[in-house]
Amino acid sequence: MRLKRRCGAHTRSTGKACQAKAPANGRCRNYGGLYTGPRTEAGKRAIGIAARSRLAAGDQAKLLAGFRAWLERRRTVSSKVALP
């Protein structure tokens, strides 16, 4: 019987190893690390062009509405917190 590769990342709280299946990079989706963005100049240009086209297509209003909602939630939470 062939054993499946396991993630093996250790948690800080318990110190036990993660038992999730590991893909090619060796870590599961929880411990695989964050996407660091494009690395080549061509990739960086492509991301910039895509972002500008999304904002030009009308997603800017949706983006700003989401930001304003987040800011309002943050203001209400911080106003409820009593300072020592």
The pLDDT value given to residue 14: 84
| CA–CA dist 34, 31 (Å, integer) | 9
| Residues spanned by the domain of 53 | 38-79
The pLDDT value given to residue 34: 61
Domain match, 29 and 42 both: no
Total structural domains within the chain:
2
The pLDDT value given to residue 41: 93
Domain match, 28 and 13 both: yes
The pLDDT value given to residue 68: 92
Q: For each successive 10 residues of the chain (84 residues), what is the average pLDDT?
A: 75 82 75 75 91 78 86 81 58
Single out the residue of 9, 7, 8 nearest to residue 23, CA to CA: 7
The pLDDT value given to residue 15: 83
Q: Does 84 reside within a domain? A: no
Q: Does 73 reside within a domain? A: yes
